[in-house]
Amino acid sequence: MPDDDSGDAILRALRRILRKVSEHSRTLHQSGGLTVPQFLCLRAIAASPQGDVSVAQVARIVQLAPPTVSRILDRLEKAGYVQRERRSDDRRKVSLRITDSGADCLSRLPLPLHETFVRRLNALDSAEKVSICHALDELVFMLEAADIDAAPVLMLGVDPTSESLVEDSESADTKED
């Protein structure tokens, strides 16, 4: 493949990845009215072994800042998917519990895209994984994105500079270029 064609092929591949992430975000929103970060927070609460979890614990699990998670939880509580309760042993602390409505919503949603990806990636041999990682590291360098912090999740919708949700991320990528 000539050099000009390889640049176009790589850009098309990157574009396909971005479009798939956007498509998955739209699917989640259409299926359950949730953004990917909302889905991840709801699932973290549902997976808590003791039945309740704190905002700080959810933030650690989903690898988002606590203020961002707090705003996400406000939306989930307003939708009736999460319930906040003061702890009886320490009234200053708040526990989060998933509601029946939240559990029902979760049961209808597809797996997160990053989990499907990781499962397929883990099926590759070590040399293939190292090769992919090196190629992606080189792309990150070429795109001058090495200084951007990112959680190991494929999602749209969180502005890392302000740690707030980007409300209209779903409409950003609807037409073929």
Q: What is the pLDDT of residues 44-54, one digit of tens each?
A: 999 887 767 88
Domain topology for 10-162: Arc Repressor Mutant, subunit A (1.10.10)
What pLDDT does 164 receive?
39
pLDDT at 93 over 80: no
The residues spanned by each domain of the chain are 10-162
pLDDT-based confidence at residue 2 (cuts at 50, 70, 90): low
Q: Which has more confidence, 1 or 10?
A: 10
Q: b/e map of 121-132 (b: 16 or more CB within 10 Å)?
A: eeeeeeeeeeee
Q: Say what the pTM is.
A: 0.71
What pLDDT does 102 receive?
94
What pLDDT does 72 receive?
94
Q: b/e map of 13-43 (b: 16 or more CB within 10 Å)?
A: eeeeeeeebbebbbebbeebebbbbbbbbbb
